[in-house]
Structure 1
Amino acid sequence: MVACAAPSIHARFAAFHARCSGVDAPIDPFSDVLALLNPKGFLSARLSAGGDWALRFNGYEGVKFNAVLQGRCWLAVEGVEHPVALQAGDCYLLTDGRHYRLASDLALPTEEAAPYFARATGGVAQVGDTADVMLMGGRFAFDEAHAAMLLDALPPVVHVPAASAHAGVIQWVLARLADEVSQPAMGATLMADHLAHILFVQALRAHAASGGAQAVGWLGALSEPRLAKALGLMHGAPAQRWTVDALASAAGMSRSTFAGHFKSAVGVAPLDYLLRWRMRLAARELRGGRKTVSAVALSLGYESESAFSHAFKRVMGAAPMHFKSAAARAPAQPTA
């Protein structure tokens, strides 16, 4: 398994640039959230399969991603009613750790996938004697304290068909990623890292653009320009003393319409979302260990440390000092 551990430099630069540009320059909330989540990608061996086959994959952490390079197969996820027919060019994300199966025919007896991947040669796990189907993928892990912000906004399966409007970029990325993995050159690990991140972001874009019940929470709201503008303002200046009236005005909506529409789409009221986002930013600063609680509170617009501490404990489940101390005692996380 190849680790692609670098967080998105572009997302962090975008967040920094927007915050330095002043209150009137909305930031991209999607990039802001991903920067907070600090995604780390891990590429697994490719799967090559031929003939009649059916494999079971056990639970996982974070988000699994796979793309079909050639051929066709079926994906069935535990607890999801309908299996997904996959073909070349398709990409999918699995988001909540459920067991799943890949198969030429889901009616076939299922074998455990792990032994095949343990015997992988040249980065390829082979099932059967031919290569009718080829898949490439891995998983993304996130900062544990904030992972739910993304995972709770996603269904168990995000399927991006080859015919999707977003599939062109994904297919280009897959071709480049296959080259980097099969014929590694200088900087191959870094290239694979960035390509995997692009694939991940493009799949999330496709999901957010899908609309309907599939795109929910803050991620789904980003596909609505008026709500996206309000979210951008809150992310761009989290310390600003935003009011519902000001956000509604920026969104071009009445106060009542905006408040109702925001809560219906995102799941929480606008100022509740802002509070939760502030506390997540505070948690990142406290875990960094370089700022005092009072400095973090002030940076997020709190003149009273006690008011900040009360809000932090309500959202994050621990007092700021306890959170900071626990983070300092935590062992360093492995990068691979």
Structure 2
Amino acid sequence: MAAPLSSARHPTSATSRDPITKTLELTGARCVLSRGLTAAGSWALAFPAPGQLKIQVILQGVIWLVMEDIEHPVRLAAGDVAVFAGDRRYTLASDPDVPPIDVLPLLRATTETFVHAGDAGRDAVTIGGHIDLSTTGKDLLLSALPPLIHISAATAEASATCWLMDQTLREIHSDAPGSSFAAEHLAQLLLVQVLRVFLTNAEACADADAFPTGWLLPAADERISLALRLMHEHPGHPWTLAELARAAAMSRTSFAQRFKEVAGVPPLAYLCAWRMRLAQHMLWQEDTPVSAIASALGYRSESAFSNAFKRTTGLAPRRYREASRAS
């Protein structure tokens, strides 16, 4: 049986792990490197929506990125990193005015690691990859990130991301002991860099102002994050608005208003959603009895938990466990 998620004592202060660290444990992050691209002259390639978290690193030259529903093309220079989240088609090009061709026939025509576009030569070189996420990870991250994050080569995060991509590539193609384990953890470090940019550098995020709020923004709010940390670390505790406001050193009214502004939902509604995400993860990865999950997440009975879980997911806990493992 998994260890209880709640604490036996009444928690009065935040623990050492921040909400992002706890959340990353639920993502099931695994990095998959896609094909690289070399190009020269005049060229443009249209890509389908990635449907997952995609990272594009520019190794040489300049490449223009044109993304669906993003008003202005983005100039990507050597050392820059672009992160795509969501279901938007995009184009990589030597110039945003060049008419694009579909990239898929080009990819199918060869099994080489790098495909080539345009004239002979190597004016531009880029390599991309995507991060596979568990169902819970997709729910947490793809709904919280803006459609595009542009990380400039001048930032520490870009340098770290390029290094991590290179190391991941080496591990994926290595037969060394532990290479699979190393690649999986490098993927989590890649996620950390992406999240740090989002939390500390808003201008890097295209259309971020128009994007819905989510759990990432409360994590970046100095006082709200204190209450968020308690909910993440002690989800089974019967939190009240007064307790959470006290942890944030705010009045109940001010705390409730501020939390809803940055998270988009009231504090206790957020807590319920977080409990359901933890439950999904436990049902998928562990053999913990449903009754034990209910108790660990603060529900007085298995039936109360099952009803709440079915309202959220459309499936009873045991049926969800069967379906998630089968898929």
Give the TM-score of the pair, scaled to structure 2.
Answer: 0.86
User: Structure 1 residues 195 and 69, CA, compared in 2 at 3 Å: closer, same or farther?
Assistant: farther
1:309 and 2:299 matched: no
Instruction: Quote the offset at 1:191 in angstroms.
Output: 4.4
Instruction: Quote the offset at 1:85 in angstroms.
Output: 0.8
- For the residue of structure 2 that corresponds to 1:36, the secondary structure is coil
Higher relative contact order (CA 8 A, sep 6+): 2
Among 32, 54, 69, the residue aligned to 1:79 = 69
1:254 and 2:251 matched: yes
1:307 aligned partner, one-letter code: A
User: Structure 1 residues 132 and 196, CA, compared in 2 at 3 Å: closer, same or farther?
Assistant: farther
Where does structure 1 lack aligned partners over 5 or more consecutive residues? 1-15, 332-336
User: Structure 1 residues 27 and 189, CA, compared in 2 at 3 Å: closer, same or farther?
Assistant: closer
* Distance of 1:179 and 1:322 partners within structure 2: 40
- CA contact under 8 A between 2:6 and 2:296: conserved in structure 1? no
Instruction: Quote the offset at 1:278 in angstroms.
Output: 0.8
1:150 and 2:141 matched: yes
Deviations 1:262-294 (A, max 9, x none): 111011111111111111111222234622221
- CA contact under 8 A between 2:28 and 2:137: conserved in structure 1? no
* Distance of 2:199 and 2:8 partners within structure 1: 27
Instruction: Quote the offset at 1:321 in angstroms.
Output: 3.2
- CA contact under 8 A between 1:62 and 1:141: conserved in structure 2? yes
- CA contact under 8 A between 1:27 and 1:233: conserved in structure 2? no
Match of 2:21 in 1: 31
2:124 aligned partner, one-letter code: V
User: Structure 1 residues 279 and 200, CA, compared in 2 at 3 Å: closer, same or farther?
Assistant: closer
- CA contact under 8 A between 1:59 and 1:97: conserved in structure 2? yes
Match of 2:32 in 1: 42
After superposing on structure 2, the runs of 4+ consecutive aligned residues of structure 1 that deviate more than 6 Å are: 18-22
- For the residue of structure 2 that corresponds to 1:159, the secondary structure is strand
Give the TM-score of the pair, scaled to structure 1.
Answer: 0.84
- Structural mapping, 1:1-336, within 5 Å: 23=11, 24=13, 25-120=15-110, 122-127=112-117, 128-174=119-165, 176-177=167-168, 184=174, 186=176, 190-211=181-202, 213=209, 216-288=213-285, 290-327=287-324, 330-331=326-327
1:280 aligned partner, one-letter code: R
Instruction: Quote the offset at 1:120 in angstroms.
Output: 4.7
User: Structure 1 residues 76 and 251, CA, compared in 2 at 3 Å: closer, same or farther?
Assistant: same
Match of 2:205 in 1: none
* Distance of 1:44 and 1:193 partners within structure 2: 15
- For the residue of structure 1 that corresponds to 2:223, the secondary structure is helix
Match of 1:11 in 2: none
Q: CA RMSD in A?
A: 2.7
- CA contact under 8 A between 2:31 and 2:183: conserved in structure 1? no
- CA contact under 8 A between 1:153 and 1:218: conserved in structure 2? yes
* Distance of 1:295 and 1:196 partners within structure 2: 31
